[in-house]
Structures are given as structure tokens and as C-alpha cells.
Amino acid sequence: MDICNGYTAGHYVFFENSSSNPYLIRRIEELNKTASGNVEAKVVCFYRRRDISHSLIQLADKHAKEEKEEEKESPLEAELTDKQKHQLRHRELFLSRQYESLPATHIRGKCSVALLNETEAVLSYLDKEDTFFYSLVYDPTQKTLLADKGEIRVGPRFQADVPDMLQEGESDEWDQSKLEEKLWDPDCPLSSKQIDQFLVVARAVGTFARALDCSSSVRQPSLHTSAAAASRDITLFHAMDTLHRHGYDLSSALSVLVPSGGPVLCRDEMEEWSASEAAMFEEALEKYGKDFNDIRQDFLPWKSLTSIIEYYYMWKTTDRYVQQKRLKAAEAESKLKQVYIPTYNKPNPNQISVTNGKMATVNGAGPGAYHAAGGGRACESCYSMQSAQWYSWGPPNMQCRLCVSCWMYWKKYGGLKMPSRAEAPEEKTPPSPVPNEPRSRGHGPRQSSHMVPVRNSGSPKSSTKTKQAFLLQATRLTKLARHMCRDVIRLRRAARRPFVPINCGAIKAECKSSFNS
């Protein structure tokens, strides 16, 4: 078995759900065998920038900018080129808590996903193949972005200031009473036997107090359960604290255990929580793990964070926890440990085949479409004219194509190698094509924010008629404004920058002033 084709829980993998769309990036949580004998993978979903709304992407960019300002970004990151910035966006993912089940046969290879490390240069992710990073958590239901709480706090901001070492015999001048509180004296006058006898009395008082308390009688109806509850740490802590506060005087401490109003009842979180609250906690723990903030927010908002954390560590000492751990271990034993997926080598439907020296039907386009376009079209991403295999890309009427290298980049990273105008208007025009390629009058390939071409301008014969023609008929006032406000509109410059909006307010103001004069 090829170790590269073996997949287990914890692996980050590419999934293919469409022959033309980029791969999905998922983390395998479980491998299960269905009744029909097929293998399904329960996976955690990761989302790309192209999968998230524009408003949330702006929020993510703002978050990244604020972090860089706080960290005073290193010169290496400041010197990123436009191309590097463009390709880094393809490496950014957003973690989600959404699970789904996908056929294991749709796995197309392994990748690596890591939480963005503050101590590592972002540029290093471009040097590694199939490597991605994330820093935010995306909720596809609520359409929100949150910072991941799994951050490892490293760097100068999180380091303690270590004072100079004291010389031998030198006093540190610290008042110990202000730094810590003494709760127990190991050199107390009481013997170990006397302390144990006092603790037995404290447990007996706790059992008697539960018998008198109505709510405790309902929760612990038997003597055994009441005695077990009275023997918990909260009772012992109270007894030892009482001894310490009364100077280890047994008679004085006993009088405090049973005051005139009745015996003292000490209860911890295990007793305070109801059965329904305990069940909700176990359900939340199954969903969120040890993310206590989310557990409190979504399941137990009336509980304090301290209460939830304290309950968790007490719950881990119960038989209930031990039983669940055994059940999970038994389930894990019954699940598949590893699955072998052969390398997928079937031809992609988007491959452009050549028959009799002419391009065949491609991606739904008409017969001989590529032959009509000249057949010498450059790659929409790298502008190369030569490739062992070509793939159709984008809407059929655009007749765009990608070379082998750029097609694999598109499938893995969800974008083109070169930046486009529609993605970032401030970026410069892509580099010129190779010398063999005829010069084009266009401004380079343009794409929408979701990497789908809007206009085709990669070859001399790129003018393609739209399916439905339309006529833009300007009003007389608009035609008049073109002549009266030439200095404001600057038509030639506006035509060369189609993505820059024209200031209509300034034009109206200029027209009004011209009419009034």
C-alpha cells in the first residue's frame, strides 16, 4: 500500500465535488463504512475567501490589518509584491464547526492546514506546496467571523519581565502576607489521628445536614448517596479551613460545624446542578469540546464560566465520565482506522481534446469553437502558449482555457496565479505575455471576485458577441453634460479605468453653475 494514498482521521485532504470548481478542503474526523459497503468520511469544513460574502472578507482584512499594526510587521512582510499578496489570499482559509459526510472516493490528495503562527513569516506558506493557514472561525449559519481561541501566545508581548537575581543574603523586600494567604499549617499542634477524627465528624454532619434539607433529600433519597455526597472534597475543604481559622482548637471548630441554627451544609457544583443541566452540559461538550465560552453562550447562559469549568473537572471524576470514555473507546475500535484511495487518473470533462487538428466541443461551446477562435489562445492565468494539455475554464461563451500547471493551481488554491483588476483595482496590470504571443489591445484578463472571467481579452480575436445585444441611449441632458463638463468627466481617462466610479455629484454641480451663468 502506498503510504501517500492512505488516509486516517486527522488528515487534511482535498475533496472534489465538481469537475470544474476548485477542490474542497476538509479535515477527516471519522471513517465509517456504510451498509452498502462504501466508505464515508465525516469531515470538518474549511472555507476559502471565495466562499464567503464580500462584507465578511472586508472584516477579515480589517482584522489582519489591525494585527499587523499591533505586531509592527517585519520588513519581510512589508516587501510582499502584488503577486505574492494575491497568491497569499488563496492560501487563507476559514475554519468552521460544521461537519458533513462525503464519499471517501472523492478524496484527491493530502494538504496541510495550520493556525497562523505569529513567529513565522507569512511568505513561508508560499514556499510550501499544498499548505494553507487560518486565523478566523466562520459560522455559515450565522454568517459571522470570530477569532480562533486556539492561539498560542508567543512573542515579546507575552513574556514575563524577569528581575535580576538577588545576591546571597539579600532580601527581596516583598511583604509575603500581601502576596499569598496561608490556608493550612503542616506544623499544627494536632496529630494526624485527631485531624482524621475531625474529618469523620465533618462528613457525619454533612450527611445529617442533607437529611434535613428538602432539596437534598429529593436528589439523594438514600443514605448511601447522601453519605457519598457528604464525603466530597467540598466538605473536607470546609472542615480543614474551619480548623485553621480557629487555631486548630477542636472544640471551637466543632461548635462552628454545628451552630445553633442547625448543621452547616456545603455543596459543590456536582450537587448544585440539576439532571437536565448535566445532560445539556454533556451535549454541549460533545459539540464544542472544551470550548467553555461557547458552551456557556449557546447552552448554559445562566451559569458562570467559573461554575462550568469547576463542574467539568468534577464531572471527570464520576462514573458517568468513565462509562462514556469506555463507550467512545469501543466505538473507535469498531471504526475504520485507515482507508486506501488509489490515485485518481480519470480524464477531466474540462479537458480540451484535439480531433483532426481542430479543437473539439468544449464546456458546452459550439462545435469547432476553439478552431474558430484561432486555436492559439494563451492561458488565462500565466499567458503561456504551450501546454501538454489544455482545460476549458469559465463560462462556455468566453472560451477561456488554462494550461496544466494553472489548472492544478486553480483546483487546489481556488484562483489564478496572476492578480486581476476586478479582484484588486489598486493592483497593477499583469506582466506582458511571452514574445510568441501577439500583443493584445486589452488590459489583461479580468475576473470577478469569485474568479470567474467577466471579459475575455487574452488574444487578438477575443471580441465575442453577447447572447443578447442592448442599446444604451443617452438623454439630451447627458449628451450636453459631456460637452459642458469635459474637465470634470475626462472621458478618455474614464474609459481606461472602467472600475473607477465617476463623480456624478460634481458633474451635476458643474452643470448647474454653467446653466446659471
Q: How far is CA 239 from the centre of its chain?
A: 48
Is 27 in the same domain as 127? yes
Is the model's pLDDT at 227 over the cut of 80? no
pLDDT at residue number 517? 74
Question: Which H, E and C letters describe 356-397, residue by residue?
Answer: CCEECCCCCCCCCHHHHCCCCCCCCCCCCCCCCCEEEECCHH
Question: 416 in helix, strand or coil?
Answer: coil
- Model pTM above 0.75: no
| Percent of the chain residues past pLDDT 70, beyond the cut | 79
**What is the domain-level CATH number for residue 47?**
2.30.30.490
Residue 371 belongs to some domain of the structure = no
For the segment 89-97, the average pLDDT, to the nearest whole number, is 91
CA–CA separation, 219 and 225 (whole Å): 9
pLDDT at residue number 447? 41
Is 197 in the same domain as 253? yes
Of 99, 90, 7, the residue nearest 341 (C-alpha): 7
Question: 509 in helix, strand or coil?
Answer: helix
Tens of pLDDT, residue by residue over 334-343, are 777 888 888 8
**What is the domain-level CATH number for residue 297?**
1.10.10.60
Is 327 in the same domain as 391? no
**Contact, 164 vs 446, CB < 8 A?**
no
Lowest mean pLDDT among 340-354, 430-444, 459-473, 486-500: 430-444
The burial of 63, by beta-carbon neighbours within 10 Å (0-12 exposed, 13-18 middle, 19 or more buried), is given as: middle
Q: What backbone torsions phi and psi does residue 298 show, to the nearest 5 degrees?
A: -95, -20
Is 32 in the same domain as 99? yes
Lowest mean pLDDT among 59-63, 241-245, 318-322, 353-357: 353-357
Q: Which residues contact 325 (CB under 8 A, 6 or more apart)?
A: none
Is 259 in the same domain as 285? no
Residue 10 belongs to some domain of the structure = yes
Residue 355 belongs to some domain of the structure = no
**Which residues, listed in sequence order, are joined to residue 137 by a DSSP beta bridge?**
95, 146
Is the model's pLDDT at 451 over the cut of 50? no
pLDDT at residue number 446? 39
**What is the domain-level CATH number for residue 384?**
3.30.50
Is 27 in the same domain as 110? yes
Is 253 in the same domain as 290? no
Is 26 in the same domain as 140? yes
Residue 444 belongs to some domain of the structure = no
Is 135 in the same domain as 48? yes
The strand ranges marked E within 237-395 are: 339-340, 354-355, 358-359, 390-393
Is 206 in the same domain as 240? yes
Q: 281 or 434: whose pLDDT is higher?
A: 281
Residue 467 belongs to some domain of the structure = no
pLDDT band at 436 (very low <50, low <70, confident <90, very high): very low
Q: Structural domain tally of the chain?
A: 5
**Contact, 288 vs 297, CB < 8 A?**
no
**Judging by DSSP bridges, how do beta strands 92-103 and 131-139 pair with one another?**
parallel
Is the model's pLDDT at 413 over the cut of 90? yes
Is 37 in the same domain as 117? yes
Residue 424 belongs to some domain of the structure = no
For the segment 259-275, the average pLDDT, to the nearest whole number, is 82
* φ/ψ bin of 430: left (φ > 0), alpha (ψ from -120 to 50), beta (otherwise): beta
Q: Which domain holds residue 49?
A: 6-73+80-147
Tens of pLDDT, residue by residue over 137-156, are 898 888 888 876 555 566 67
Residue 455 belongs to some domain of the structure = no
Question: 172 in helix, strand or coil?
Answer: coil
Q: How high does pLDDT run on average in the chain?
A: 78
Residue 132 belongs to some domain of the structure = yes
Q: Which residues contact 380 (CB under 8 A, 6 or more apart)?
A: 393, 394, 400, 401, 402, 406, 416, 445, 453, 458
**What is the domain-level CATH number for residue 261?**
4.10.1240.50
**Contact, 43 vs 27, CB < 8 A?**
yes
**Per-residue b or e along 488-505, where b marks 16 or more CB atoms closer than 10 Å to that residue's CB:** ebeeeeeeeeeeeeeeee
Give the Cβ contact number of residue 365 at 10 Å: 19
Tens of pLDDT, residue by residue over 200-217, are 998 888 888 877 777 665
The cell for 331 is 466505538
Lowest mean pLDDT among 366-380, 385-399, 407-421: 366-380
**Contact, 489 vs 502, CB < 8 A?**
yes
